[in-house]
Amino acid sequence: MSEALPQVYAAPPLAIPAPAHCFEAIAASTNDMISVLDETGARIYVNPAFRALFGEETGAGTDSFAHIHSEDRPRLQSLFRQVMRDGRGQRAEYRVFDARGELRVLESQSNIITCQCGVPRWLVVVSRDTTARRSLEDELAHMRDALEIRIGQRTTELVDANRQLERSVAELRAAHRELREREEDSRRTLKRERELNEMKLRFVSMASHEFRTPLAMILSASDLLRDYDGRLPPDERREMLDDIHAAVWRLTKMLDEVLTLSRADAGRLEFAPRAVSVLALCRDILAERSRACGASHALVLESNQAETERPLDEKLLRLALDNLLANAVRYSPAGSKVRLVVRFAAQETLFEVIDQGIGVPETDQSRIFESFFRASNVGCTPGTGLGLAIVERVLRRHAGTITCTSNLGRGTCMRVCIPMAAVESRGTVEPCRPPAAINVGSVEFF
């Protein structure tokens, strides 16, 4: 049994409105203002949004340029003619007066409506009120300009503050540097004062001991001579006078050493270099030292070549070498050998005083050239602590150097180096009469 097919009813065709009605419906439903202009610029249509802004009297037939601001009107009229001529729409922004006379800003887009033959016939203008947006943009621009000005002012203030900070930092650094310099000066001054105090203590100790012994000897001998002069044998009387003479000579020598050191420290140590026969001078110094020590030590002069003249201050060099030899004899056992080695190099003269004495402790070697300093192992051996200090000042005037190599209980070697060029540059060198030559590599005993 066949099923009955459902009956299909055709719906009636939709009524398509005319294009004009569609346009009006669309134009009425938008918030944008729409106007249609003819080729003269007269309005032939405006939508409700347009009439709401400009009033009902802006209908068909009214001049589309009447509400435009007078300053913008020529530009819009020229743009209208260009669009109608070229057939291409344009975008524009301009000022208008609304129905209440208030100034508004519109943004418009125009489009051409052509006739069937393609000739531009009408112009559709869609406009939007951008007054609020433009006001906001102007306000933002004003705020931006104000912010830029404020930023510029603040930047200037920060730059000034930074410069002031940099100046303050520079002043603080300068003050800190000055403070450190003053602190360093104070530290050096304090160190110098401590050294001076220590030097004074060593001087007082030296003076109380070294001066007391010869003074006591002078006092004792003079008392004996005064009380027993007539009853003393000539030999004893002569011996007492020799003791007085030796004590006076010892005091005079100590005072001369102090005076020489003070002159050197004050920069008043006279320096007069001249051509000196070095080996002849050394023989003379060794002979004097041999007589002073009474042949208790074997004094030896060694040289690597024949007699040679060198520019030196004879007086100061004699003082330096004699002090070195005196120390070598004083701190060496009787009967031991003390060697004075002289070497001539192309640009310098070298001296070595080598003994077999008690040596210098390693902890004291860095201080042995200080005034009134004596090594810790000298014991009761007499001495002033001035000899090596004078040697160092003398060599400084010659631009020379001195170094110490020592082993406890085995002896000491004091090496002196005097450069020729430095001595020649410090004074006029006078020639002297050449002495008789000695054999190369000679050894002489005194």
Residue 353 pLDDT exceeds 80: yes
Computed over every residue of the chain, the mean pLDDT equals 82
**pLDDT at residue number 4:** 42
Q: Is residue 169 over pLDDT 70?
A: yes
String of DSSP letters for 176-244: HHHHHHHHHHHHHHHHHHHHHHHHHHHHHHHIIIIIHHHHHHHHHHHHHHHHHGGGS-HHHHHHHHHHH
Give residue-wise pLDDT tens across range 69-105: 999 999 999 999 999 888 889 999 999 999 899 999 9
pLDDT of residue 270: 82
- Does the pLDDT of residue 15 top 50, yes or no? no
State residue 105's pLDDT score: 93
Looking at beta carbons, which pairs linking 37-44 to residues 24 or more positions away fall under 8 Å?
Answer: 37/64, 37/80, 37/122, 37/123, 37/125, 38/121, 38/122, 38/123, 39/84, 39/120, 39/121, 39/122, 39/123, 41/65, 41/77, 41/80, 44/122
DSSP state of 98: -
* Model confidence pLDDT, tens digit, residues 105-159: 999 999 988 877 777 788 999 999 999 988 898 899 999 999 999 999 999 999 9
What is the pTM (predicted TM-score) of this model? 0.51
Q: How many CB atoms lie within 10 A of CB 308?
A: 17
Q: How far apart (Å, rounded) are the C-alpha atoms in residues 346 and 108?
A: 106
Q: What is the pLDDT of residue 204?
A: 58
pLDDT digits (tens, 9 = 90+) for 288-312: 888 888 778 899 999 888 778 888 9
Tell me the average pLDDT across 372-376: 84
| DSSP one-letter code for 116 | T
Whether residue 197 has pLDDT greater than 90: no
Tokens of 243: 């003791």
Q: What is the pLDDT of residue 5?
A: 35
Domains in the chain (CATH in brackets) are 19-129 (3.30.450.20), 269-445 (3.30.565.10)
Q: Which amino acid is at 348?
A: E
- The larger pLDDT score, comparing residue 158 to residue 206, is at 158
For the stretch 423-433, pLDDT in tens is 666 555 444 44
Rounded-to-integer distance, Cα 141 and Cα 250, Å: 103
User: Does residue 68 surpass a pLDDT of 90?
Assistant: yes
At residue 114, the pLDDT reads: 82
Six token digits for residue 21: 């009605």
Task: Quote the DSSP letter at residue 58.
Answer: G
